[in-house]
Amino acid sequence: MHSESHADAITTQTITPQQVVIGIDIGGTNLRLALADLTGKILTCWSTKTADIFDPADMVQSICIGVNVLLTDPSLAQSKLVALAVGAPGITDAHRGIVIATSYLGGWRDVPLRALLEEALHVPVFVDNDGNMAAFGEYSAGVARTMRDFVFLAVGTGLGAGIMIDGKVHRGVNWLAGEVGYMLVPGTTADPVQNDSPGALEELVGGEGIRQHWRATWKADTTSLNHDASATDIFDAAALGDSLSRSTLDSVARALAYAIYNMALVLNCSHIVLGGSLGLHPGLQAATGAVLQKLNPRVQPTLISSALGGEAQIHGAIHQAIAMARPNPL
Amino acid sequence: MHSESHADAITTQTITPQQVVIGIDIGGTNLRLALADLTGKILTCWSTKTADIFDPADMVQSICIGVNVLLTDPSLAQSKLVALAVGAPGITDAHRGIVIATSYLGGWRDVPLRALLEEALHVPVFVDNDGNMAAFGEYSAGVARTMRDFVFLAVGTGLGAGIMIDGKVHRGVNWLAGEVGYMLVPGTTADPVQNDSPGALEELVGGEGIRQHWRATWKADTTSLNHDASATDIFDAAALGDSLSRSTLDSVARALAYAIYNMALVLNCSHIVLGGSLGLHPGLQAATGAVLQKLNPRVQPTLISSALGGEAQIHGAIHQAIAMARPNPL
């Protein structure tokens, strides 16, 4: 009897598989997966292009391929996937795991991504908007680890915010909190929003809007850049004294500063974490900070750069998956 | 021994004084006190003018006079004051009970109102900004009793908001959350804020700003109203077809709708509760709702009137005092 129970103990003590999670970032151009341990340390990654993935079933299939590739890594043979979280590029019902609307991926509407993935993978899945994921990433593993209240503001092709209030992601009643690309500030249009058209602020501050404005105002004698320069080219040239680039950067910075100021008047958060390819540009940050500083001495949120950059979303997804796997954190 | 304990029981059972609280609203023109029972029912009120009260010590003295008058009401002879809460017309540190800044009352700066009142009255005191008090009033006893997320927006001489998120007043890191009178929208100036100058949005939407704009645009042949009409006069005349009044109302409504839209893009709250003398005007509500409805089909916060009107602040103060007296609500 004694030897039997000893044998049992040995059986249950034999190698316990390491628990791992997968964080996923569905972007307009790339699908990226990262497998991490329960401390959030990334062990291995996989990615593919999303350019021709429109059907949600195809997306689920691509994710399954990636999950299988990650889990069959020989170094992870003893790993057990316990949870998975996904950041989606659109309005997302995080409670039910439904992507309500996105202008990417051929324009998904009401896609029950969580249910589809749970059915395919048999692990708990959490789905949220990518801006919220990025905010949670900076909060869990980035520059906002000590902040209970901040806004993560992604400035890239478009514009979006993830809002953290009292240590929780604030999503709003229709999952629209932080859709600041539509904000109205001096200089924006106040025309009604058309179906899937970019937001009024996005037209001034987003990469695509900046390119359009550039092409409309471009004259060979005002700039050394050519007609189809990118927003990053323009911001880079502004630092070197290019005249049209400088005035373009200044008008982008003004609109961005007004929007940040308006957010700060509502939320009175201490910090705005700037992410996205344009949000991280030092020239835009400096010019925006200069406008903001003049507006109102009392209302001065501190602008800081995202520490995780393009990895903020995927780190947020990893940490949401960990939170799900371990509902009572150690 | 048995009879002794019986006697004890009788002693402790004899008339227990009724516990009461006092809610106070310090306004730019009136100081109002209301005494209520622990259900929030107002039993008696007292008020005085604040026109010549600049010194905080004088304000405390006036409040003490009011408290004594209320408590010496013969019908309240058996009452015991257990807590008191005050709404102040300015930026207020609610944790420490300090009025940081107000443009009323001769411009208080860093007045430790809670400490002053606790020293004078020997009861626990809570002090908060009046917009936050009004939001809490509507949440506790008004139109927002079933809402966990809403904005109370007071439109009167100036403009201010109290923000409720997940059933809690959201005050912000510097107690400035909801200072939306400074918001920048199409049509406002984006000039730097000068000392104590009204906010950019307030200049378009606040009663004093509307009067100034009216005087600047007034021409006898465009209106039946005279040169020094009030905002309410103007809104009333707009409903009767007065031409200049109509265009004035429309431009106020546009700016107000833009600001509400911006708040909704950040917070995605379901409801905006409109209070203040102008916010309650049906003409302004209708015109604002019409602009809002056209902006964006996805972002449509419901506009509703404050149920408590000018009493929202004082009800909020009563219920904050009750919450303090009874930290674990029944």
Q: A302-324, pLDDT tens digit by residue?
A: 999 999 999 999 999 999 999 99
DSSP code for B275: E
Tens digit of pLDDT for each residue in A118-137?
A: 999 999 999 999 999 999 99
Pick left, alpha or beta for residue B166 (phi over 0 → left; psi -120 to 50 → alpha; otherwise beta).
Answer: left
Query: Which residue from B187, B189, B263 is facing A266, i.e. has the nearest CB?
Result: B263
Q: Range with the lowest mean pLDDT among A32-46, A72-86, B141-155, B246-260?
A: A72-86
Quick count: other Cβ atoms within 10 Å of Cβ A202? 24
Q: Is the pLDDT of residue A75 over 60?
A: yes
Q: Are the beta carbons of B299 and A182 separated by less than 8 Å?
A: yes
Judge residue A43's burial from the number of C-beta atoms within 10 Å of its C-beta, 0-12 exposed, 13-18 middle, 19 or more buried.
middle
Query: Which residue from B179, B190, B266 is facing A180, i.e. has the nearest CB?
Result: B266
Helix (H) or strand (E) holding B69: helix B56-71
Tens digit of pLDDT for each residue in A182-214?
A: 999 999 988 988 877 789 999 999 999 999 999
Which residue in B has a C-alpha nearest to residue A197's C-alpha? Answer: B296
Q: Which residues pair with B98 in a beta bridge?
A: B93
Q: How confident is the model at residue A15 (pLDDT cuts 50, 70, 90)?
A: low
Write out residues in chain B with pLDDT < 50, as ranges.
Answer: 1-13, 330
Query: Which residue from B176, B189, B296 is facing A193, i.e. has the nearest CB?
Result: B296
- CB contact set of A68 (below 8 Å; sequence gap of 6+): none
ipTM value > 0.85: yes
Q: What is the residue-averaged pLDDT of chain A?
A: 92
Q: Are the beta carbons of A176 and B258 separated by less than 8 Å?
A: no
Q: What is the CA radius of gyration of chain B?
A: 22
Handedness of CA A58, A62, A67, A73 (dihedral sign): positive
Q: Are the beta carbons of A265 and B294 separated by less than 8 Å?
A: no
In angstroms, the CA B313 to CA B47 distance is: 14
Show the CA angle centred on residue A275, arms to residues A269 and A277, nearest 5°. 155
Strands B125-129 and B98-101: unpaired
Place of tokens 């628990």: A19
- CB contact set of B3 (below 8 Å; sequence gap of 6+): none
Residue B75 pLDDT: 85
Query: Could you tell me the CA-to-CA distances from A7 to A4, A14, A17, B133, B143 in Å, in that order?
Result: 5, 11, 20, 67, 67
State phi, psi for B307 to the nearest 5 degrees.
-85, -25
In angstroms, the CA B267 to CA B168 distance is: 14
Query: Which residue from A177, A267, A296 is facing B177, i.e. has the nearest CB?
Result: A267
Tens digit of pLDDT for each residue in B105-155?
A: 888 999 999 999 999 999 999 999 999 999 999 999 999 999 999 999 999
Show the CA angle centred on residue A200, arms to residues A243 and A169, nearest 5°. 110
Judge residue B298's burial from the number of C-beta atoms within 10 Å of its C-beta, 0-12 exposed, 13-18 middle, 19 or more buried.
middle
Pick left, alpha or beta for residue A272 (phi over 0 → left; psi -120 to 50 → alpha; otherwise beta).
Answer: beta
> Among A88, A82, A38, A80, which Cα is nearest to A59's?
A88
Q: Is the pLDDT of residue A163 over 90?
A: yes
Strands A159-165 and A168-170: antiparallel
Tokens of A309: 């950059």
pTM given for the model: 0.92
**Amino acid, res. A328:** N
Note whether A164 contacts B: Cβ–Cβ < 8 A: no
Tokens of A124: 């708990």
In angstroms, the CA A200 to CA A202 distance is: 5
Which residue in A has a C-alpha nearest to residue B170's C-alpha? Answer: A267
Helix (H) or strand (E) holding B111: strand B109-111
Which residue in A has a C-alpha nearest to residue B184's C-alpha? Answer: A185
**Would you say how long chain A is, in residues?**
330
Q: Are the beta carbons of B178 and A269 separated by less than 8 Å?
A: no
